[in-house]
Structure 1
């Protein structure tokens, strides 16, 4: 390369960096790609039915349609309000369809809610488990 070409490239690089440093960056509000793609719903405190009418539990996005102790809950799957308000499941049980069940031994809810063992017994949450 010629000395004049090298000199011109160095001059262009120096001018580019000086120009970039002289202009202040624009104030840009940044959001993550995850938050930009998410439709933000109201916070759960919005569904507080203690200070609002219980009909707030029927709105779209509500955690459940029943008002229990001032909070909207789904009584079909809530551990603390299984089936109705203030009916808590015992340790080791899960709320499936409003009933407290043991997923390790229940033939109608084997390993997960509503998984039925066809002809075998449910052992350790598995159908056809060899004992």
Structure 2
């Protein structure tokens, strides 16, 4: 590696061929996070962390709704069912958005991903 002279853009181009390889992405993310902290290599760490974010969200989804259909009784017109159904849909849509975002960065350039991050920050801030 280029050590201290490695830029975010260079790191992005180095790891880009590994997008989609969950284990390798996870290892690269850990190395860059340990080496550069939470503020360094922003675009590269964001890109590497998306797949892990989706996997984590799926784990939470599975845990939250593991017993949804195991009660043996499926009332479809009660408030409880409606609330749980709404929660499932909201969580599934959030996971889908992360997966779609990851899918869109695979062919993207560094500058496109950087712009995506800036847009996401603006959306979170309500700008």
* TM-score > 0.5, shorter chain as reference: no
Larger RCO (CA within 8 A; separation ≥ 6): 2
Higher alpha-carbon Rg: 1
Higher strand share: 1
More helix by proportion, 1 or 2?
2
